[in-house]
Amino acid sequence: MDDSIENTESVVKHWYDSSEKDYATMKNLLASKDFSWALFLGHLVLEKLLKSIYVKRKEKHAIFTHDLLRLA
């Protein structure tokens, strides 16, 4: 499978924008004291930010994983 990307910046922007939306939701969950879901969303925020960095640096699609250590 070819992991190369035609427009790297658009993929980076996708991951970053998606993480921003999840971050806002996470803050709302924290405010409502729904801590377990806030923590889950916090993991997604970090995952998406790491994927945006991965794409920017490697100029190919991020690996299919939720493992933050592997992404880092």
Q: What is the pLDDT along the chain (72 residues), one digit of tens a residue?
A: 466 788 999 999 999 999 999 999 999 999 999 999 999 999 999 999 999 999 999 999 999 999 999 999
Q: What are the residues whose beta carbons fall under 8 Å from the beta carbon of 59, sequence distance 6 or more?
A: 4, 5, 8
Question: What's the confidence (pLDDT) of residue 2?
Answer: 61
CB 53 within 8 A of CB 46: no
Report d(CA 3, CA 56) in Å as an integer.
13
Spans of all domains in the chain: 8-59
